[in-house]
Amino acid sequence: MGIKERHERDREAVSRAILDAARELFVSEGYQNVSIRKIAERIEYSPAAIYGYFASKDDIFFALAEEGFRLLGDPEDSPSAERLQALEPLERLGEIFWHVYEFGRKYPQYFSLMFIDRDVPRISREYERFAFVRTMKAHLLAQIQASIDAGTLPSTLDASVACRVLTMGVLGVSAMRLSDRLGPPGLVDLIARDVLNSLLAGLQSGVALKSTDACCAVEEPMPLENVSSSGAAS
């Protein structure tokens, strides 16, 4: 291994240590209560050394949020994409939103940071960095529209409104799971499935939705409102 490669590897290792320490501190103490100094102390580095990797605490959050959204991923680009496409539109939609629920189960620290902590900066400040999230959102809306076009969901249903309702359902159960208020994990999974199935059945029945002109909230961590149809927060 050459000097350049070794240097890059060392920088990656330090960057990883900073991100891991920051993620744990942000979740355990709250984003607002964590300073660069605290992160530096956790990994036994000086604050000045941290600034050699990240210009600010916000930049550290943006790096973690990007990792989180990439871990969440786009089901259409996953190894299970072919299996999903073979399903009926409504069943496919259920599996896609179940994947969102499973993200909270598999990556609780990322979930907490992205969807629960209200003090984190808005990702719209890093518009280009999160372009892939807008693509994920567009795919998600397209799947809902496919169910509408197939007649399995009412033609009067707004895909963006349905997306928000379904997202809030699975994120809500994930948040309650994280706070350990719903019982053993196996029971929580059953509750999550019941919530998702009930929401889909309600949408299929043509229940009147009051939150018109809402957009899917999967792009913006917190708060979840004011996301435009192009995916950028206002």
Q: Residue ranges of the alpha helices (H) in the chain?
A: 3-29, 36-43, 47-51, 57-72, 81-85, 89-106, 108-115, 131-149, 159-178, 185-205
Question: What phi, psi does 227 have (nearest 5°)?
Answer: -100, 125
Pick from 73, 110, 106, 94: nearest CA to 192: 94
Question: What phi, psi does 232 have (nearest 5°)?
Answer: -100, 135
How does the average pLDDT of the chain come out, rounded?
A: 86
- Cα–Cα distance measured from residue 168 to residue 133, given in angstroms and rounded to the nearest whole number: 17
Residue 219, both tokens: 């792009």
Residue 146, both tokens: 């496919």
Q: What is the pLDDT of residue 55?
A: 95
- Cα–Cα distance measured from residue 192 to residue 179, given in angstroms and rounded to the nearest whole number: 14
Mean pLDDT of successive 10-residue segments in the chain (234 residues)? 82 96 96 97 95 96 96 75 82 92 94 92 85 90 93 94 94 91 87 96 92 54 34 32
Q: What is the pLDDT of residue 231?
A: 33
Q: What is the pLDDT of residue 77?
A: 67
Domains, the chain, with CATH or none: 3-55 (1.10.10.60), 63-205 (1.10.357.10)
Q: What is the pLDDT of residue 85?
A: 79
- Cα–Cα distance measured from residue 147 to residue 92, given in angstroms and rounded to the nearest whole number: 9
Q: What is the pLDDT of residue 203?
A: 96
Cα dihedral 120, 122, 128, 130 sign: positive
What pTM, to 2 d.p., does this model score?
Answer: 0.83
Pick from 32, 163, 172, 192: nearest CA to 111: 172
